[in-house]
Amino acid sequence: MILHDIESAERKSIEDQQLHDLQKTIERVYERVPFYRNKLQESNVNPDSIQTLDDIKKLPFTTKRDLRDHYPFGLFASEQKDLVRLHASSGTSGKPTVVGYTKKDIKDWAIIVARAISIVGGGPEDILQNAYGYGLFTGGLGLHFGGEELGVTVIPISGGNTERQISILEDFKPTILCSTPSYALNIGEKMLEMGKDPRSTTLKYGIFGAEPWSEEMRKKLEELFDIKACDIYGLSEVVGPGVAMECSVGQDGLHIAEDHFLVEVIDPITLEPVQEGTIGELVFTSLKKEALPIIRYRTGDIASITKAKCICGRTTTRMSRVKGRIDDMIIVRGVNVFPSEIEHHLIQMKELAPHYQLHLHRTSSLDEVELHVEITGELYQKTSQNLKHPILQALKAEIQEKMKTYCYVTMNVVLLPPKCIARSEGKAVRIIDHRKEIVKK
């Protein structure tokens, strides 16, 4: 196992370098980005105000709304002639967020992702099947260039066309699969349908991310494919995939690339920092980006951090698995719950397939949650394909009790036959909010 210098550095050394790079970044945005210059002046802050890492609290937050309000290039710190690539989010809830990269940014990103792949255990002897989507989404190209930087042989298959994915798995014999966890599950299930054994492939590692997933989903994927399944974290506004990566040794938190990113965790209500180990909203500041430096970006992702040394030997700060997103949190009658918490309990039930959806409704002035789950094909046949069978009614009651006991939400459970919930070829759709339909009417 190779540790890069930053990954085994002393805490003081890491923080000294971070402070130097933070000061340079603040100078850059103050000089080149009117939005940040105005925000800093409103806070009576200038580049000289940053003398310690703790001074980051003096800086303003950046939100997704800020990027959308300055669409498309208003927050860029580089001129167009210096850009070599643009990426953008899907823009499903408004204007897309646009991010740009200089040649140096692309090189830095490739190095970050190369390190992430090596943290899992990958190296030049490996073949990587990249089933993340290529295009404006950063996932596909991020893993692609990172793999090439490391010397891995990259198969740029992109997402979708599951039968072809399986054919490539069998013929090209990759050792690493990169995709969303829900799509990896889809591939494995399709192989079983075709009479193939997912455990017989040459895969050794899975690099899964782009959506929150539970420890139970990890166990499911590791058992399904006989692999080590590791979490990768990133977001376009910060750089893309590679901001943090889980090692295959400890599998206990994701190692943050601290030479490129400064992490904070705040209370999303008070916006004040929380103690190490406490769950809150992740906030990232870029330290080396040229085209789109980002200052205290509120990710909306809920997690915690620790500076404790990992058993793999790395000393960099680790973030926990993302519990969920603030905007994915369901609030029903004053109770907060994330889909990943529901997934945690559902996947442990052998009578259910690992697919579910939450349908949110409003009855009069009350919010209601309808949980759609699939039963396994074996159970469906055992109960004569009768969804009113006493065994299934008892299962429904058991699920309702689990949700009430562990997630503190009373749900109407809808049992579905196998293959009724749409399979994902990208990010899984877990929540369908019918309350918005009422508002539109």
In angstroms and rounded to an integer, the radius of gyration of the C-alpha atoms of the chain is 23
Domain 1-325 shares a fold with domain 329-440: no
For residue range 29-59, list pLDDT tens digits in order. 999 999 999 999 999 999 999 999 999 999 9
Q: How far is CA 398 from CA 77, 380, 411, in A?
A: 55, 17, 12
Q: Please report the pLDDT score of residue 228 as a whole number.
A: 98
Which residues are bridge partners to 431 per DSSP? 358
CA nearest neighbour of 353 among 372, 330, 331: 372
CB atoms within 10 A of CB 387: 14
Q: Please report the pLDDT score of residue 1 as a whole number.
A: 57
Burial call 332-362: b when 16+ CB within 10 Å, e when fewer: beeeebbbbbbbbbbbebebbbbbbbbbbbe
Whether the upstream peptide bond of residue 418 has omega within 30° of 0, thus cis, is: no
* CATH number for the domain running over 329-440: 3.30.300.30
DSSP assignments along 303-318, one per residue:
E-EE-SPPTTS--S-E
- Domains in the chain: boundaries: 1-325, 329-440
Overall CATH class of domain 1-325: alpha beta
CA nearest neighbour of 56 among 297, 320, 276, 318: 297
Long-range contacts of 335-341 (CB under 8 A, 24+ apart): 335/407, 335/408, 335/409, 337/407, 337/408, 337/409, 338/212, 338/302, 339/212, 339/430, 339/431, 340/212, 340/213, 340/214, 341/214, 341/406, 341/407
Q: How far is CA 432 from CA 17, 34, 330, 338, 356, in A?
A: 45, 39, 11, 14, 11
Q: Flag whether the pTM goes above 0.75.
A: yes
Helix (H) or strand (E) holding 205: strand 205-209
Weakly modelled stretches of the chain, pLDDT under 50: 92, 438-441
